[in-house]
Amino acid sequence: MTHFPQPHPTRRASRVQLGDSVLAAIRLEDGRRTKAKLQSVSVTGGLLRLAESLAQGDFVEVAFQTQSGPVHGMAEVLSPMRSMPDGVLQPFRFVALEDDDHRRLRNSLDHVAMRSALGMRSGAFST
């Protein structure tokens, strides 16, 4: 069964900052593929560092690895946030995740939050 993430109208989903260590594979609607670095992620979306921006409103497939296993979902690309010398930061929101992908993402986010609360470094996401 497919999970359709719904943002809470008054409360933003908790985000996990990942830095530059997590690679994400992106597949556009026309079949083209690109790579990105996943800067942050939540159950509703995330932030990618891309070499070139994608068009706002594009629907893409996003895949990345967590300690709980791979996460693969459909996402809508949002407006780029910031241009940088080596690329652009661009947010996305998940529009559909299979139940297993949602469970793996949630487990990894919970793991990071728990380790963070204990003051420990997490390896919940990997390249």
pTM of the model: 0.81
Percentage of the chain beyond pLDDT 70 is: 76
- Residue 81: per-residue pLDDT: 86
Class (C level, CATH) for 11-126: mainly beta
* Confidence band of 39 (pLDDT split at 50, 70, 90): very high
pLDDT tens per residue across span 40-86: 999 999 999 999 999 999 999 999 999 889 999 999 999 998 888 88
In whole angstroms, what is the distance from residue 110 CA to residue 86 CA? Answer: 31
